[in-house]
């Protein structure tokens, strides 16, 4: 059996997608990925409690008063300490510095609650309803420096119903996110291990001024 790809999940809040990733893996230990670290930019993030309960190491630090690139270097140090190879953003409400994204090029995935390229940014469900869309959904994409902009790997659609509110729609989309993200990370991890996905070599600790 090949070594599972070591995944670090970045969260800011509830962490339900992180939990879905952990549970998907737990249902079948032969999965090609395993969660090695859950890191948050808010020490009060509820998902940290969930991660601890699941036995996953956690790291947190408030981003307040810390320059973006400096904060990302702290996050990176934690990732490298846990030998993380793939970063999964799961409700991480911080823009990443271009430096961090470039150093981890091809190694950062994100789940976004819209059918990208529609509705990048926040408040996606309200915007879909206001536009009169009949279909909403979620996307998993590779992270590039521009917000919610990298290549889309997978999407799931959710039909919009006449009486949907943003909250009701968000719940149905979230249920799809919980299925889509684990499957996509699983496929991506398989690609990494089998070598048909070529990504940047892992950053080396303390090596911040090369690019
Ligand atoms: C999800 O809707 C995700 O798509 C978005 O933020 C939300 C995070 O939810 N990026 P959770 O923290 O995973 O429960």
pLDDT in tens, 79-124: 999 999 999 999 999 999 999 999 999 999 999 999 999 999 999 9
Would you state the pLDDT for residue 2?
79
Pocket test for ligand 1, best of 35, 174, 178, 179 (most atoms within 8 A of CB): 174
Would you state the pLDDT for residue 204?
86
pTM here? 0.96
Task: Examine the pLDDT at 1 and tell me if it is beyond 90.
Answer: no
Would you state the pLDDT for residue 211?
37
The three-state secondary structure class of 164 is: coil
Query: Which of ligand 1's atoms lies nearest the C-alpha of 111?
Result: 4
Residue having the nearest C-alpha atom to atom 1 of ligand 1 = 91
- Cβ–ligand 1 distance for 109 under 6 Å, the answer no
Would you state the pLDDT for residue 179?
98
Average pLDDT over residues 131-153: 97
- Percent of the chain residues topping a pLDDT of 90: 94
Task: Examine the pLDDT at 210 and tell me if it is beyond 80.
Answer: no
Would you state the pLDDT for residue 205?
78
Å from CA of 107 to ligand 1 middle: 19
- Cβ–ligand 1 distance for 137 under 6 Å, the answer no
Q: How confident is the prediction for the chain on average, in pLDDT?
A: 96
Would you state the pLDDT for residue 168?
98
Residue whose C-alpha is closest to residue 156's, from 125, 142, 135, 187 = 135
Å from CA of 111 to ligand 1 middle: 7
Q: Which residues are catalytic?
A: 112
């Amino acid at each position: 059996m090949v070594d599972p790809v070591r995944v670090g999940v970045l969260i800011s809040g509830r962490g339900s997608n992180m939990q879905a990733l952990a549970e998907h893996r737990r249902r079948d230990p032969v999965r090609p990925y395993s969660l090695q670290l859950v890191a948050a930019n808010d020490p009060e993030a509820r998902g940290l409690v969930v991660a601890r309960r699941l036995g996953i190491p956690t790291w947190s630090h408030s981003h307040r008063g810390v320059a973006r690139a400096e904060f990302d270097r702290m996050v990176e140090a934690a990732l490298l300490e846990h030998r993380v190879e793939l970063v999964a953003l799961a409700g991480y409400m911080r823009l990443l510095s271009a430096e961090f994204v470039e150093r981890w090029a091809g190694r950062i995935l994100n789940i976004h609650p819209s059918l990208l390229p529609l509705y990048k940014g926040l408040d996606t469900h309200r915007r879909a309803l206001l536009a009169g869309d009949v279909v909403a959904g979620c996307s998993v994409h590779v992270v590039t420096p521009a917000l919610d902009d990298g290549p889309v790997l997978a999407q799931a659609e959710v039909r919009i119903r006449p009486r949907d509110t943003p909250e009701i729609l968000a719940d149905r989309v979230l249920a799809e996110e919980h299925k889509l993200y684990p499957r996509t990370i699983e496929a991506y991890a398989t690609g990494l291990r089998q070598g048909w996905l070529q990504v940047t070599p892992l950053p080396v600790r303390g090596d911040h001024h090369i690019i």
